[in-house]
Structure 1
Amino acid sequence: MRIDERVPVLIVGAGLAGAATAMFLGLHGVPALLVERHPGTSNQPKARGQSWHTMEALRIAGVADQVRDAGYDVDLGMPIVIAESVAGRRFHEILGEKWPDFSHLTRERMAMASQERAEPILLGRARELGVEVRFETLVESVTQDADGVTAVLRQADGAQRTVRADYLVAADGWRGAIRESLGIGTHGRGELNHSHSVVFEAELGDLLEGREFALFYLQNPEMDGGGGAFVSTDDPGRYAVMFGHEVASAERFESFSDDDCVEQIRLAVGIPDLPVRILSRASTGLAHRVADRLSEGRVHLVGDAAQTMPPHGGQGGNTAILDGFHLAWKLAGVVAGWAGAGLLDSHDTERRPYGELIAGQQYANMIARSKPELADGTEDEILPAEWTLFGYRCAAGAVVPDSTEDGALVEDPATSFGRPGSRAPHVWLTEDVSTMDHFGKGFVLLTANPAWQRAAESAAEQLGVPLTAVLLPDGDWRTAYGLSPAGATLVRPDRFVAWRSVDDGTATDLAGALKTVLFRS
């Protein structure tokens, strides 16, 4: 077969997961190729909100401020209301005018950009970092062997090109074909219903009480599916209503007319004669589904291709971005040769349990917010937000566990004390510099002991690993990381603690830890 071009990494899908993977690969110096079958980025005002842990990753990529500016002012709050309709009875308000205060865990604040606004920012940054992006490019086939992946692409003009890549990232969404072509099944509660999303214009006056943004989960037996959701968008006067159908009623779903949609919008808003102008309609599915494995040979799944979940809780888009963040440095290490190929096995080991956790949390949130009739006692217990955002652990994978390891998947991040497999704690070093400011573009060794600085220089030279030692004055940071004055902690590019030596040690100890983490023989 003739090969038209060769790339280190081919990414299929330019949604949040694919765009983030491309951006972070570029940050680590990998010139990837990203292809997308659609003519441009999403025009749907969905997947709104970048949580604190996601903003930490976006800060590393240099786009945090852009993303924040693309959304509405978070200081205005975001009420999430459970109601019969926007104008009707209100049953419960989940978030009022204030966000949770996580300032003890992170220096970042939330952002509220929609997918419609965020995707172009991520792709723009990816291009700046050397990634090539091609729209209107369809992947017709993917095959792989021991040495790489071959993809046949069909361009907008009908021309066919064959690309040979060392690795492929499948970010082609929950309807994408790559996962299925690899023979990777899924598990979970499956498809929950069919949904219709309608974007429309209407004059709602003071119905939203002057708020720039609002989200209503609707429990309304008059609506198809018994309810749905109402959300404002980035543009004043433009809104979206989602309503569902049971899977068995898919035929009725397909037969919906614009007049039927207007009726559903009026029921959702609670104004029977509301003038409505429909702008767009899209069908989708609501599902709880996780891939049985996230890797198959040289192909790795991210985003909705890896896990699909109800939107309740707003972590689907965040998980997609962070899939790319956590995978990119591993791909970069293997492509550059300073990591063994086995490092990529940790993508499944570390990210699939998290996908299962978040999908379970959002299913439980869906029951609490809009589908109480589905409660049967098998749904997950809803965990504190700080545990799922900052307290997720990689107990196995690219880490060297120590004697404190208990195998827990989540923990209270305020009491992790920097054990391997946990997110590195945020501690202010000066008035405006945090420990977090040192992470993201290579391995970092934090220490107050100059001997470790010399050890890091020796290990980096010996192994060819991007490793920087940061010598800090003794202080609160050391207690937060569980170290003696002589100790050191090794932090991965994705802010997770890879290894630590509570007391003093040698360059041989550090090099051995790096070899283990990077699957080097």
Structure 2
Amino acid sequence: MNPEHVPVLVVGAGLAGLSAATFLGLHGVPALVVDKHPSTAQHPKARGQFPHTMQALRIAGVDEDFLAAQPADSGFTIKIAASTSGPVFTTILAGGSPDFSAFSRNAWANASQEKAEVILLRRARELGAEVRFSTKVESLAQDSEGVTAVLRELPAGATREVRADYVVGADGHRSPIREWLGIGRHGRGVLSESVNAVFEADLGEGFDGRNVVFYLQNPELPGSGGALTSTDHRNRFAIGVGQVDEVDEQRWTELIRIATGLPDLEPKLVEQNSHTTVSALVADRFSSGRVHLIGDAVRTMPPHGAMGGNSAIMDGFHLAWKLAMVVKGQAGQGLLDSHDSERRPYSEILVEQQYANMVQRNSPQLADGSEAELIDPALTILGYRCPTGAIVREADDDGALFEHPAEPTGRPGSRVPYSESTVDIFGRSFVLLTASSTWDEKAADVAGKLGIDLVIHHVQEDPARYGVRRDGAVLVRPDGFVAWRGEGDLEAALRTALAR
């Protein structure tokens, strides 16, 4: 029997894999998604979606679903304290998020991973993806024409072969695919081990138990610290403390009382003794041949800053348009090389930023001067640049990885300057921004010759805002990053960006 053929096989149905499948479908490429687990996540896990993520989710048509999935009180509070009853050492957020409305139309959302995966699963299927749970990848073998995967239905079902043009490895921090490819990781390594529980309790009047994180610094807790977070259910909380042996119910009650500062509390345990390893590691390569890695398969970081879940979704967003154009023959395979050159430097920064957050919030004893200086979130979220990759780099580009969204330059590799008049035109194709109608016929001819979709949009604002003269143009990629600008050869620019 000939193997089943799919254009893209996505391994892993978490935030990264379902995001990749959703955006592949949006670009007209149906994916097969497999996951060894029986369903999507059954625990809140990562929580919160930043404006750049919400912009991508808006393009996918699910931003309103994410807003509806957040707790009724969407204000988010983060405190560093000895216990939830105090004393409080620092309040990082007090019921709200930074105001980025000058740089983005999209609001923050605070949906849990448990609900986010359900939303993305539904949308991926609507857009043509087939998702198979309880299905494990036994092996991968790639050649110059594609990748052969052996899939097994769990718990011990039959195996079948699938032939894919490309594979997206979104199979988590242990990533068998990464191991099969022989891709190593580098970084600070394993930072801590924790044991976790979920409990129900009334923590008292005035306690915002619906949307809160407490980072605990308390010598009475194992490892002298831990974390207590709200869940999607009122009066239900998750707690994690430093690595200890299996904890019985009586000891969990003691630990919860210490963490809450309520010595007479009678918590009801819902789950107990799950274990978490916190590490700071980045894959040495994000791609190998026809296999491309995203999410926890390429980076693991402390959960202090919420960029783990956000970067997983955005990996899928940034990779999908490239894969889709290559699958459809609109771009050369070299376009996929930019997945590593664009996403890996950013990942290095995110991991170090969240490590620095962990030291500040949860583990001051680790401070040794090697931790990174914290960067303005506006830069890490909306100001990151790709000075190399699928762009036409300018001769005087200084290679800076950030620019403040309040002072956009329009340089290739940067996010296109925010404008209410253009925000809704990005996401599905390349866009040419210009104030001059002289580009209309030329752009249409080039798009026809290359066989791609190219939207021409006449801007009303001063083109100098984009760094071009009135007779110039700015070429914007489907992910909202500038690929090229100028008055020169549009076809050559597109060929460079598309590796053709």
Whether the 8 Å CA contact 2:227–2:240 is kept in 1: the answer is yes
Is contact 2:78–2:213 with CA below 8 Å preserved after alignment?
yes
Deviation at 1:145, TM superposition (A): 1.3
2:337 equivalent to 1:345:
yes
1:450 corresponds to: 437
- Name stretches of at least 5 consecutive residues in structure 2 with no aligned partner: none
The residue matched to 2:148 in structure 1 has which SS?
A: strand
Query: 1:453–1:470: 8 Å Cα contact kept in structure 2?
Result: no
Does the 8 A contact of 1:442 with 1:493 survive in 2?
yes
1:257 deviates by 2.8
| Paired residue type of 1:40 | S
Match of 1:517 in 2: 497
> Partners of 1:464 and 1:95 in 2: how far apart?
49
* Partner residue, 1:258: 249
Match of 1:248 in 2: none
The alpha-carbon deviation at position 413 of structure 1 amounts to 1.9
Give the letter aligned to residue 518 of structure 1: L
- For 1:304, the equivalent position in structure 2 comes to 296
Match of 2:426 among 396, 421, 439: 439
Contact 1:395/1:405 (CA < 8 Å) preserved in 2?
A: yes
Matched residue SS, 2:240 = strand
What one-letter code is carried by the residue in structure 2 that aligns with 1:337?
G
1:386 to 378, 393, 402: 378
- Write the deviation string for residues 181-209 of structure 1: whole angstroms up to 9, x where unpaired: 1110000000011122211111212151x
Residue in structure 2 matched with residue 64 of structure 1 by the alignment: 63
Deviation, 1:261, is 2.8
Return the alpha-carbon distance in structure 2 between the equivalents of residues 333 and 220 of structure 1: 52
Which residue of the partner structure matches residue 479 of structure 2? 494
How far 1:244 moved relative to its partner? 2.2
Write the mapping of 1:326-345 to structure 2, written as runs, cut at 5 A: 326-345=318-337
Q: CA deviation at 1:166?
A: 0.7
Task: Give the C-alpha shift of residue 3 in structure 1.
Answer: 3.9
For residues 405-416 of structure 1, the aligned pairs below 5 Å read 405-416=397-408
Contact 2:210-2:235 at 8 Å conserved across structures: no
Matched, 1:167 2:147: no
Q: CA separation in 2, counterparts of 1:419 and 1:126?
A: 33
- Corresponding letter in the other structure for 2:271: S
- Kindly indicate whether residue 38 of structure 2 is the aligned counterpart of residue 51 of structure 1: no
State whether residues 464 and 470 of structure 2, in contact with CA within 8 Å, keep that contact through their aligned partners in structure 1: no
2:229/2:238 contact within 8 Å kept: yes
Q: Secondary structure at the match of 2:449?
A: helix
Q: Provide the C-alpha distance between the structure 1 equivalents of 2:169 and 2:250, rounded to a whole number of angstroms.
A: 38
Instruction: Give SS of 1:188's match.
Output: strand
Aligned equivalents of 2:312, 2:427: Cα separation in 1? 18
Overall identity of the aligned pairs, in %: 55
Q: How does 1:268-283 map to 2 (within 5 A)?
A: 268-281=259-272, 282-283=274-275
Runs ≥4 residues deviating over 4 A: none
Kept after mapping to 2: 8 A contact 1:391/1:410: yes
Kindly indicate whether residue 368 of structure 2 is the aligned counterpart of residue 368 of structure 1: no
Counterpart mapping for 1:126-205 below 5 A = 126-156=124-154, 158-205=157-204
Contact 1:6–1:163 (CA<8 Å) still a contact in 2?
Answer: yes
Contact map agreement 1:15 1:42 (CA 8 A) in 2? yes
Structure 1 residue 259 displacement after superposition: 3.2
Instruction: State the partner residue of 1:36.
Output: 35
- Give the residue type in structure 2 aligned to 1:234: D
- Deviation of 1:454 after TM superposition, in Å, equals 1.5
User: How many angstroms does 1:427 deviate by?
Assistant: 1.2
- Give the TM-score normalised by structure 2: 0.97
Q: CA deviation at 1:419?
A: 0.8
Aligned partner of 1:432 in structure 2 is: none
Aligned letter for 1:13?
A: G
TM-superposed deviation, 1:78:
1.5
Distance 2:409 2:28 in 1: 32
Residue 470 (structure 1) aligned with residue 469 (structure 2): no
The residue identity in structure 2 corresponding to 1:116 is: E
Paired amino acid for 2:440: Q
Contact map agreement 2:16 2:313 (CA 8 A) in 1: yes
Which amino acid in the other structure matches residue 77 of structure 1? G
Q: Which secondary structure does the structure 2 equivalent of 1:172 belong to?
A: coil
Residue in 2 that maps onto 1:20: 19
Residue of structure 2 in register with 1:483 after alignment: 468
> For 1:371 and 1:71, how far apart are their aligned partners in 2?
29
For 1:360 and 1:288, locate their aligned partners in 2 and report how far apart those are by CA, in whole Å: 8
* 1:517 Cα offset (Å): 0.3
Question: Hey, what does 1:249 align to over in structure 2?
Answer: none
Separation in 1, partners of 2:195, 2:408: 43
Q: Distance in 2 between matches of 1:337 and 1:294?
A: 22
Measured in 2, the distance between the counterparts of 1:7 and 1:185 equals: 28
CA distance in 1, matches of 2:39, 2:96: 35
8 A Cα contact 1:404 1:419, kept in partner: no
Cα deviation, residue 472, structure 1: 2.8
**Structure 1 residue 28: Cα displacement:** 0.5
Could you give the per-residue CA deviations for residues 326-384 of structure 1, whole angstroms, max 9, x where no partner exists? 00001001100000001111100000111111111000000111111111111111000
Partner Cα distance (1:404, 1:448) in 2: 24
Asked whether the 8 Å contact 1:87–1:207 carries over to 2, the reply is no
- SS of alignment partner, residue 106 of structure 1: coil
1:254-311 per-position Cα deviation (integer Å, ceiling 9, x unaligned): x333333333222211112311122123212100000001001111110000100001
- Distance in 1 (CA, whole Å) between partners of 2:382 and 2:396 is 18
Counterpart check, 1:426 vs 2:411: no
